[in-house]
Structure 1
Amino acid sequence: MSTFGQYFRVTTYGESHGRSVGCIVDGVPPGLQLTEADVQPQMTRRRPGQSALTTPRDEKDRVAIESGTENGITLGSPIALRVLNEDQRPKDYGGGGKNIDAFPRPSHADWTYLEKYGVKSSSGGGRSSARETIGRVAASAVAEKYLRVAHGVEIVAFTSSVGSEFLFPPTRQYPTAANNPAFLELIDTITRDKVDEFLPVRCPDKAVCKKMEEVIAEYRDKQDSIGGVVTCVIRNCPSGLGEPCFDKLEATLAHAMLSIPATKGFEIGSGFGGCEMPGSVHNDPFVKAPTVTPAEAHGAGASETRASRRPRLTTKTNNSGGIQGGITNGAHIYFNVGFKPPATIGQAQQTTGYDETEGTLEAKGRHDPCVIPRAVPIVEAMAALVVMDALMAQSARQSARSLLPMGEMTIPVGESHSKLMNGSQ
């Protein structure tokens, strides 16, 4: 389906070389200040043509709000966001390359779309193109504005590997970055502005970034491609989010991330490296949360009720990645998303055509040799949509609970049951 979310619902539309791409966002809280200026920054970070290491397709990706606001204020009705495709070249896919219209491109979605629908887009991969993610990024800017204003939530992603070049390579001492003090310090302080100081790769380390840039350039020059990993951290996320059992927050995050084109892996917290650790080391002991001053509690434009939402406990370590039992515990949520090498490359490939005849495909078109740098804002986008949807679900639950005699009290279940049985408040 083309719709994501249950409470904050996003429906994307459009093909790679159609007239436009965009989305409809339903469930946006009314009264939020919102203009194109709130949405455009992330669109610009995602757009093609940012450097010699990305596709040369020249799209400005200017977003227009078509509905759902008046005088820069959301009305609570569906918001339509549209981006025109200004640099279409469908001819690149219809005879523009050698036999490109006779062969399904290896590892692309040409064949599977044809098997599923009996018809496929004739150019650019249609809905399977990464250009579909424009709608996701546009919608997420709306979600992020609310999350930032109401809760001070911060979501930052960065490139952590390209090919065999790692920002934090696993070692015997630190089989997972979750135990690496340098990594923990980074995710505590990293900002999007800081990440973008390391363009075009977006790896926040000058020396490693340079090596990654050289790797991507090497594969680009060979008309080949390479994959890598994006790491993302969510800070100041309210505790209590997530819907056990089947919609645990890490499960919805995994769903969201693996719905991004070219993704092949997801791990949260200690991830696979944590499998090498004993429970006595991996467990996250609870400690009393540090006292939060009013200025800190209400900073970053957060609402006046933010201080009351601060958890009383936190964890000494964070191998869990901010989620336990599928529910957020107030600690940083961090995870990795693995992306495969882009499927479309310039090298001639031996394959089999739609008519079952073997032959050579020489693809033509404008494609990224590595999607990682431009995937960074897309990972941030899907994280925002997950948190926003979970927050609205929890807000509905808390609102219903507040009307009961127990109100907002939080006490152990045994004591709560006893008091209810005795009619006590």
Structure 2
Amino acid sequence: MKSCFGNNLNISLFGESHSEAIGVVINGLAPGIKLDLTFIQKQLDMRKPKGKISTQRQEEDEFKIVSGFFNGYTTGTPLCLLIYNKSQHSKDYEATKSLMRPSHADYTAQMKYQGFQDYRGGGHFSGRITAPLVAAGAICIQVLKQKGILIGTQIQSCGGIANEPLSEDEATLKQQIEKLNESYFPVLNEEVKVKMIEAIEKAQTEGDSVGGVLETTILNMPAGIGEPFFNSIESTLSQLLFSIPGIKGVEFGAGFAMQNMRGSEANDSFFYNETVKTKSNNNGGINGGISNGMPIRIKCAVKPTPSIFKPQQTVDINTNENTTFRIQGRHDPAIIHRARVVVDSIVAIGLLDLFCERYGYLWMTE
């Protein structure tokens, strides 16, 4: 029973939605990494709820590093980061604690932890626990950015509204990533953005929720990163991406669309222009689980937020009786725009672990 990840860069999450604090311990950071604390806070602010399209639970999400950081640099010892919870409404969950919320982890947590779990706000299974993930990812993003590696995500679809894909041209793609990373609702097309927000607000007024697809790009990846089979880029990043609450599907490159292609169409032909490149990128910058130097392309399916205000059927776990209930409290009509920064963060964590596998942890400061 653990919430840890990493072979070289190891992260361990702790805390619950309504506990005093949540946080992360990071082992394997090289000594001498200069950290921009304002960037960590900026990333945490990107995850915060804002306006009618998010939950009304307002947390400051101010973090505190209590070890592994001294005089502006990492020390190389375990880095522990805390974020205190200050806006809990635990009473919202007391009256319905025995009612298993559909599509939540209430029932599975009950079975695994035998009723001793903290049920308030989803406990350790809550999206609240993604806050320390974002903080840890912000550290990894800084290391990767110093190496020229950029990560960016846009909302590809939301509430049935489709968006145009990101560019295939790397120069244009760099500009798009930089712009997306400054946007709270990451959509480049303003008309599409307005329609998506309207779809979220409509669901909210109806007591419902919507999902969508996030499109992530990793730019300037060198060839040769990743291991065959179990520690491939796909298997490493998929494991992490599926750890984000609400992610129900992950594809790389053309993904499921490749089932309708022939090999002659799906294969990415190589050519040389100062370096080896491919004419198409159906495989999403990965061959044999290892980066080939092209942009890595990932899509994640985000399910509709399970906490909705419509009446739902469930079971009272204390009496084993079928019943109907309506969720109370403060909930998101959509999490996709807030999940964007979590996806970027988790991808950065996975990549840095793979880079350390290839070059060793001192690569971070070379």
Query: Structure 1-normalised TM-score?
Result: 0.81
Report deviation, 1:277. Answer: 1.6
Residues 159-308 of structure 1: pairs in structure 2 closer than 5 A: 159-168=155-164, 183-185=167-169, 187-194=173-180, 196-197=182-183, 199=184, 201-290=185-274
Return the match for 2:291 from 293, 312, 328: 328
Partner of 1:383: 347
Report deviation, 1:10. Answer: 0.7
Say which is worse superposed, 318-327 or 140-149, in terms of deviation. 140-149
Return the match for 2:329 from 342, 365, 389: 365
Preserved contact between residue 228 and residue 338 of structure 1 (Cα < 8 Å): yes
The alignment of Structure 1 onto Structure 2 pairs a total of residues equal to 358
Alignment pair present for 1:128 and 2:125: yes
Report deviation, 1:192. Answer: 4.4
Larger Rg: 1
Pair 1:111–1:203, CA change in 2 (3 A):
same
Q: For 2:174 and 2:145, how far apart are their aligned partners in 1?
A: 17
Partner of 2:12: 11
**Is the partner of 1:184 in helix, strand or coil?**
coil
Q: For 2:322 and 2:359, how far apart are their aligned partners in 1?
A: 57
Preserved contact between residue 277 and residue 293 of structure 2 (Cα < 8 Å): yes
Report deviation, 1:107. Answer: 1.2
Report deviation, 1:188. Answer: 4.6
Query: Structure 2-normalised TM-score?
Result: 0.94
Matched AA of 1:190? Q
Pair 1:215–1:195, CA change in 2 (3 A):
farther
Pair 1:13–1:398, CA change in 2 (3 A):
closer
Preserved contact between residue 195 and residue 204 of structure 1 (Cα < 8 Å): no
Question: CA offsets per residue over residues 6-61 of structure 1, 9 Å max, x none?
Answer: 1011111110011111100111111111142231111110122x221000111111
Preserved contact between residue 154 and residue 215 of structure 2 (Cα < 8 Å): yes
Residues 52-201 of structure 1: pairs in structure 2 closer than 5 A: 52-95=52-95, 100-119=96-115, 120-149=117-146, 151-168=147-164, 183-185=167-169, 187-194=173-180, 196-197=182-183, 199=184, 201=185
Q: For 1:271 and 1:263, how far apart are their aligned partners in 2?
A: 16
Pair 1:315–1:218, CA change in 2 (3 A):
same
Preserved contact between residue 195 and residue 203 of structure 1 (Cα < 8 Å): no
Which has more strand, going by share of residues?
2
Matched AA of 2:122? G
Aligned-residue Cα RMSD (Å) equals: 1.8
Report deviation, 1:70. Answer: 1.3
Q: For 2:362 and 2:42, how far apart are their aligned partners in 1?
A: 33
**Is the partner of 2:52 in helix, strand or coil?**
coil
Matched AA of 1:158? Q
Preserved contact between residue 30 and residue 362 of structure 2 (Cα < 8 Å): no
How many percent of aligned residue pairs carry the same amino acid? Answer: 35
Pair 1:192–1:388, CA change in 2 (3 A):
same
Q: For 1:144 and 1:109, how far apart are their aligned partners in 2?
A: 30
Question: CA offsets per residue over residues 135-168 of structure 1, 9 Å max, x none?
Answer: 211111111111111x111000111111321113
Structure 1 unmatched ranges of 5 or more: 169-176, 291-311, 400-425
Matched AA of 2:15? G
Pair 1:189–1:13, CA change in 2 (3 A):
same
Say which is worse superposed, 208-217 or 186-195, in terms of deviation. 186-195
Pair 1:276–1:397, CA change in 2 (3 A):
farther
Preserved contact between residue 180 and residue 187 of structure 2 (Cα < 8 Å): no
Q: For 1:372 and 1:356, how far apart are their aligned partners in 2?
A: 34
Structure 1 residue ranges (4+ consecutive) displaced by more than 4 angstroms after TM superposition: none
Pair 1:194–1:101, CA change in 2 (3 A):
closer
**Is the partner of 1:61 in helix, strand or coil?**
coil
